Structure 1
Amino acid sequence: MSESARPTFEPKVVAAVIAAGIVAFGLFLVLAAYAGDTGSSRDGRAHALSSSGIGFKGIVRLIELSGGQTRLVRNAGDFEGEDLLVIAAEPDTSAEAIEEVVRLRGGRATLIVLPKWGVVPDRDKRGWVRGVGTLPDGLVSEILGKDRRLKVTQSQAKSRTARGRDFLAGVQAPLPRIVQTVSGYDVTPLLVGAPGEIVLARLGDAPLYLLADPDLLNNQGLKEPARAKAALAILTELNATDARAVAFDLTVNGFGRHPNALQLAFEPPFLPLTLALVLAAILGGLHGAFRFGPAAEEPRAIAFGKTALVENSAGLLKIARREHRAGDAYAQLIREAAAHESGAHLALRDTELDAYLDRLSPPGEPRFSALAAAARQAGDRAGLVAAARALFQWKKDLIK
């Protein structure tokens, strides 16, 4: 007896490949849904996700390591919280984008951090940048818009330390060698170096603040412990008394969350529906892979029994379009049945039997011979059906 041939692929290997494919496809869908929400920390830009020298990932981590809480805002619907919102402007940030965020804040504490340095990517180290000097004064001023009538200036620092005023009294922050300051209409100084060197100011009467020099908060500035301590103190004082965290806006940096139909499948209230569909798909796959009970036999094309024979014969007549030719046979069938039911003499045949059945017909009703003739002479299916019904009714009335 020869040994049975082994299958080409082991069932366990096939099952593992299918399972891996399903998991990979699910992960692909999740990544496709949230790909736009993942910002890079190595793009060399100035935002809260960036680990470059001009980025602000360091202050986010510093707040968290100090026991505080932070939020990264990607959705305009999250602007309504009481937490201080830090907007990190970049050279290509428009004044309209900043004003829209300020409008949505509705008078809540907001800090705008201006850009200062022009940089290019470092070819040797991914995520690093090389400074090419400060940005032009006019370019930085345009980020704030012409309506605010503010002027931004870069110059050699005349003082090594900036001191706080008003509710920031007592705060001291070391200044960089080249300091960027702001001046203009309706500006309240909050952090000042030498006379006229306004580093941090409040704009108008609302809690809208402007940090002219980003080196007080960015990654390269926090390498000095005194400046890192001052950064925490500034953010704490600028925050509202009932705030729970410091929020960092990412929408003006292009990392806002946009409506995505695929994300709805992985978020409430549609997440349970997605899980139910996944479970149904798994059960369907198991049902296809494993048989429940014996296999159902395929039914015969032509069934056994008299009923099947009659149906097949009727089908042949229908295909040949000769249904109306069956009237004579049906009339003979009714004749034999009526003769048997009425006890007719066995010697009666054809015309004699028809005459006998005519005498048995109820008075005023059609005679059997007339009904049988109508069945024989039917020219179509409708005529045959009408004649057959009349014969059947005649037989019912006869045997009552």
Structure 2
Amino acid sequence: MDDRIFSSRTLLWLVLIGILSFAGAFVASLYQDKIIHLSSIGTNSYSQSAIGHNAFSSLMKKMDYRVRTSRKTWDRAGYADVTLLIEPEDTMGVEAVLEEFYGAGTLVVLPKWHAYPDPENEKWVRSARLKSDGEVENILQIFSDRIELIRGAPEDVLENFTWDKDILTFSQQPWIQAPQLIQGSDDILRPLVYSDKGILLAEFIQPNGLLDGIDKTWILSDPDILSNHGLDNGGNAYLAIGIIDVLTGNGLGGVVIDETSHGYVSEPSLWRRMFEFPFAVVTLLLVATVGLLGWSSISRFGPPQITEKSYQSGKGFLIDNTADLLAFGGHGALMLKHYAERSLQTVALGLHAPKDLEEYELLQWLDRVGQARGSDLISHEIIRNAHSITEAPVFEVMQALKAARDIHRWKQEMLHGTG
């Protein structure tokens, strides 16, 4: 009777589905950033709203910059890469980048807007208002308390800038409405793009900076230069790409957009990963496999059980079957004789008995050892009793069993003591 739970065809399908599912989960893990789309209306690189920066991220990728969005606090830029902190919502991420050397440079874009979603379209902004001066100054305080925030009126437009042509070159003027600028002394800020109203882009002069041109820290005061609505202006796009081009060394380094300050933190966690796509597919397969194994172990699953098995497994069955065969063949006396001889050899070897002794001398030597060990069994009586049973005209099974038990007890006491 075939006692397999699954047929060959069913088993083949299960294996094939498992392989395809695992391969699909593996491929999905490689492209999960393209499969998982994070949506937002805020001031981050996922946002497609007017004040978001998704267009800037896409523009850099289309211009063949190596762009990576980071959601891990420990995931920093390489030595040739640039870190972008665009409108950070807190100071922790900015401090972490500035305290240690991470990459060729850092661009910190100051925050400017609060957004309110459109109830009819989750990707649009219904309205936006300027952040308070204090919220922006909290970020500036990380650099120096001597950097001043300068803000224009909501109806003001600023489009007349001067820039450091030794560092930046572009042919069109940036354009900003309700401009947000900064001002600071020459020992704190090096103006790169500025006007008579204030500084739009500056290099922060670090007190204990490294070599000139390495680990640059630039501050862009107004994020509208990089925002989705701001990039409609050619001058803003020229400035944005010009900044990235200089910081990356004409594209030699990569760009890391830090999104941890916007709440998109994804720290490594095995349990969280198990229930996130695409790893949830593997978890589902594991649960299904355990379920099938549990189902297969339930009684009455599969073919009917055989009440009497023709064979069994285990040492007990093997010993009983061997004993039955020897008894059936009339070899009980031979078994007892061999068992007595082997037990005598085992005890002699275990006690390091002299090798040149005859059997009667060995038994006398063992008697003395057994007496010293406190055993009440006499060696020559145990062995000779077994020999007398094997040489008797009629083999008595019960006497043979008793003799075998005595030999076993004697061997144990001689080798391991009477305890």
TM-score normalised to structure 2 length? 0.57
Contact 1:56–1:219 (Cα < 8 Å) also in 2: yes
User: Larger deviation: 111-120 or 139-148?
Assistant: 139-148
Q: CA deviation at 1:24?
A: 4.8
Output one character per residue of 1:344-364: Cα deviation in whole Å (capped at 9) or x when no partner.
Answer: xxxxxxxxxxxxxxxxxxxxx
Contact 1:163–1:170 (Cα < 8 Å) also in 2: no
Q: 1:69 to 1:180 in 2, by over 3 A?
A: same
* Aligned twin of 1:318: none
* Aligned twin of 2:82: 84
* Aligned twin of 2:181: 181
After the TM superposition, which residues 233-312 of structure 1 pair with which residues of structure 2 at under 5 Å, given as runs?
233-240=242-249, 243-256=252-265, 258-261=267-270, 298=311, 302=321, 305-307=325-327
Using the alignment, how far apart are the partners of 2:38 and 2:56 within structure 1? 14
Contact 1:162–1:175 (Cα < 8 Å) also in 2: no
Q: Tell me, yes or no, if structure 1 residue 153 matches structure 2 residue 154.
A: no
After the TM superposition, which residues 109-258 of structure 1 pair with which residues of structure 2 at under 5 Å, given as runs?
109-145=105-141, 148-149=144-145, 150-156=147-153, 157=156, 159-165=158-164, 167-168=166-167, 170-171=169-170, 172-185=172-185, 186-193=188-195, 195-205=196-206, 206=209, 207-240=216-249, 243-256=252-265, 258=267
Output one character per residue of 1:264-308: Cα deviation in whole Å (capped at 9) or x when no partner.
Answer: 99xxxxxxxx9xxx9xx9xxx9xx9xxxxxxx9736985663346
After the TM superposition, which residues 21-100 of structure 1 pair with which residues of structure 2 at under 5 Å, given as runs?
23-24=20-21, 40-75=37-72, 76-90=74-88, 93-100=89-96
Q: CA deviation at 1:113?
A: 0.8
Q: 1:297 to 1:58 in 2, by over 3 A?
A: farther
Using the alignment, how far apart are the partners of 1:57 and 1:245 within structure 2? 17
Amino acid in structure 2 at the alignment position of 1:80: G
* Number of residue equivalences: 304
Amino acid in structure 1 at the alignment position of 2:241: L
Q: Residue 382 of structure 1: which of 378, 391, 406 is its match?
A: 406
Does the residue aligned with 1:298 lie in a helix, a strand or coil?
A: coil
Q: CA deviation at 1:165?
A: 2.5
Q: CA deviation at 1:213?
A: 0.5
Using the alignment, how far apart are the partners of 2:34 and 2:271 within structure 1? 13
Contact 2:87–2:223 (Cα < 8 Å) also in 1: no
Larger Rg: 1
Identity %, equivalent residues: 21
Using the alignment, how far apart are the partners of 1:152 and 1:310 within structure 2? 109
Q: 1:312 to 1:214 in 2, by over 3 A?
A: farther
Using the alignment, how far apart are the partners of 2:407 and 2:36 within structure 1? 82
Q: 1:223 to 1:138 in 2, by over 3 A?
A: same
Amino acid in structure 1 at the alignment position of 2:158: S
Contact 1:60–1:70 (Cα < 8 Å) also in 2: yes
Amino acid in structure 2 at the alignment position of 1:85: T
Q: CA deviation at 1:22?
A: 6.5
Using the alignment, how far apart are the partners of 2:138 and 2:234 within structure 1? 32
Contact 1:113–1:210 (Cα < 8 Å) also in 2: yes
Using the alignment, how far apart are the partners of 2:118 and 2:92 within structure 1? 31
Using the alignment, how far apart are the partners of 1:38 and 1:258 within structure 2? 19
Output one character per residue of 1:72-96: Cα deviation in whole Å (capped at 9) or x when no partner.
Answer: 3445354232222211133xx3223
Output one character per residue of 1:137-171: Cα deviation in whole Å (capped at 9) or x when no partner.
Answer: 11111123366113333313463233312534544
Contact 1:43–1:127 (Cα < 8 Å) also in 2: yes
Contact 1:167–1:237 (Cα < 8 Å) also in 2: no
Using the alignment, how far apart are the partners of 2:131 and 2:332 within structure 1? 94
User: Larger deviation: 202-211 or 45-54?
Assistant: 45-54
Contact 2:226–2:240 (Cα < 8 Å) also in 1: yes
Does the residue aligned with 2:121 lie in a helix, a strand or coil?
A: coil
Q: CA deviation at 1:115?
A: 1.5
RMSD: 4.9
